[in-house]
Amino acid sequence: MYNLLHRILEREERRTRNNFKYYALFTETHRHIIYLALN
């Protein structure tokens, strides 16, 4: 029972980390676009 719960939590954490990575990449790209537009 504990192992199952642990595995589910691990998977959720990994998914969240991946989403965050994509989000960070997205904001970085956005920042570059804004920077280029201003200059």
The predicted structure's pLDDT at residue 19: 82
Residues in the chain where the model's pLDDT stays below 50: none
The predicted structure's pLDDT at residue 38: 83
Handedness of CA 27, 30, 36, 39 (dihedral sign): negative
The predicted structure's pLDDT at residue 39: 75
| Residues counted in the chain | 39
Q: Write out 10-35 in H/E/C secondary structure.
A: HHHHHHHHHHHHHHHHHHHHHHHHHH
The domain spans of the chain are: 1-39
The predicted structure's pLDDT at residue 36: 84
Cα gap 37→23, rounded to integer Å: 21
